């Protein structure tokens, strides 16, 4: 089968399509014939060497959608022929930039017939992260104000839809170019993240009860300044380049709750993915697939996911 591997760490140019052996399932695993793969910034961190891999060459990629082709011993919830989506591969084990992958059954959920493979692949990491942030950690109540930083990004554009589905009033920071598209997704106010008076604008027009922060190093102080008393700030991502608290006392005065999270601490990842897939089947959450690429274009997809400005997700189709 074909798979995209890197034989050394480096830029997108180190990715190459190789012929490799098709995997066999171990206990608790299934083989998925992959129809679509979500492209995430974290995929590039393994390629660059910022995150470790167990060996070289290595197949990257964490998200998938496809069809079960084989099952190992101990698998009870999936049958050959089932449509599935999944996430969490490509970290310590071969990933999803391939025509097939061996996946632990607990990293998968059933993909409803009404949801395309491309949408399923686009939902894995971002949909699960948005669910954990808003449902599990923030426990958003209807009519609360929710602010999503980076509303046009992969996690962000799903998070705004999920918050709106939960009955919240949704605001987002984003480029003005994305304001109309975000309004179509349920965002009531889009704040230009580049404006000098960003904190004042948010505090005066839509002070949030919940903040979902994809750039938590940049907005730690801003979040504390604008959030309502008793507010919850959910921090996602690994940015550490700048920012921090200048006045941490305001967090105590408002009793702000900070929760820094990772999707992969979820107690039941399959259940989280299943919840997101159900919302997609009902049309309440719909990932935007900005562009699709073939396996031989994985280098361009990984360049674009870091360098280009767009709303939604990028997807590979083997």
What does the block give as tokens for 210? 């919940």
Residue range 98-120: mean pLDDT, rounded: 98
Q: Residue 304, preceding bond cis, omega within 30 degrees?
A: no
Could you report the per-residue pLDDT of 7-53, keeping only the tens digit for each? 999 999 999 999 999 999 999 999 999 999 999 999 999 999 999 99
Backbone angles phi, psi at 223, to 5 degrees: -60, -45
Q: Three-class SS of residue 70?
A: strand
Which pTM was predicted?
A: 0.93
Q: What is the pLDDT of residue 214?
A: 87
Domain 2-111+288-316 has CATH 3.40.50.1370: no
Give the pLDDT score at 218.
83
Task: Tell me which long-range contacts 190-197 makes (C-beta under 8 A, separation of at least 24).
Answer: 190/151, 193/149, 193/150
**Averaged pLDDT for residues 127-156:** 97
Once rounded to an integer, what is the mean pLDDT over residues 134-158?
97
Calpha distance 287→121 (Å, rounded):
9
Residue-wise pLDDT tens digits, 307-317: 999 999 999 99
| Angle at 201 (CA atoms; ends 197, 203), nearest 5 degrees | 120
pLDDT of residue 251: 64
Per DSSP, 3 falls in state: E
Domain spans of the chain, in order of start: 2-111+288-316, 126-263
Contact in structure between 124 and 314 (CB atoms under 8 Å): no
Say if domain 126-263 classifies as CATH 3.40.50.720: yes
Please give the angle made by the CA atoms of 97, 103 and 109, to the nearest 5 degrees.
105
313 C-beta neighbours (distance < 10 Å), count: 30
Which residues in 118-166 belong to E strands, given as ranges?
Answer: 145-149
**228-252 core/surface letters (b: 16 or more CB in 10 A; e: else):** beebbbbbbbeeeeeeeeeeeeebe
Pick the closest to residue 58 from 89, 36, 80 (CA basis). Answer: 89
Over residues 221-259, the pLDDT tens digits come to 899 999 999 999 999 976 555 556 666 666 656 788 999
């Amino acid at each position: 089968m074909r798979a995209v591997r890197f034989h050394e760490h480096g830029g997108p140019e180190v990715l190459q399509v190789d012929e490799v052996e098709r995997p066999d399932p171990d206990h608790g695993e299934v083989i998925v014939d992959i129809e679509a793969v979500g492209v995430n910034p974290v995929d590039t961190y393994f390629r660059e060497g910022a995150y470790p891999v167990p060996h070289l060459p290595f197949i990257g990629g964490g998200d998938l959608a496809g069809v079960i082709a084989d099952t190992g011993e101990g698998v009870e919830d999936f049958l050959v022929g089932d449509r599935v989506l999944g996430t969490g591969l490509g970290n310590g084990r071969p990933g999803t930039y391939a025509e097939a992958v061996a996946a632990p059954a607990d990293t998968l959920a059933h993909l409803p017939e009404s949801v395309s493979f491309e949408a399923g692949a686009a939902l894995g990491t971002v949909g699960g992260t948005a669910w954990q942030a808003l449902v599990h950690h923030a426990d958003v109540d209807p009519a609360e104000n929710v602010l999503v930083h980076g509303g046009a990004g992969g996690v962000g554009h799903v998070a705004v839809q999920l918050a709106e589905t939960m009955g919240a009033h949704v605001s987002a920071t984003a480029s003005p170019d994305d304001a109309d598209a975000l309004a179509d997704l349920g965002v009531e106010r889009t704040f230009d993240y580049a404006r000098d008076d960003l904190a004042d604008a948010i505090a005066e027009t839509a002070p949030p009860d919940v903040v979902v922060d994809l750039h938590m190093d940049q907005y730690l102080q801003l979040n504390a300044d604008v959030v309502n008393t008793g507010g919850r700030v959910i921090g996602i991502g690994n940015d550490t380049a700048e920012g921090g608290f200048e006045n941490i006392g305001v967090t105590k005065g408002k009793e702000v709750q900070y929760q820094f999270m990772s999707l992969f601490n979820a107690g039941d990842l399959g259940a989280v993915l299943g919840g997101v897939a159900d919302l997609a089947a009902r049309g309440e959450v719909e990932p935007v697939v900005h562009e699709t690429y073939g396996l031989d274009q994985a280098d361009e997809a990984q360049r674009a996911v870091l360098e280009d400005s767009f709303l939604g997700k990028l997807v590979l189709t083997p």
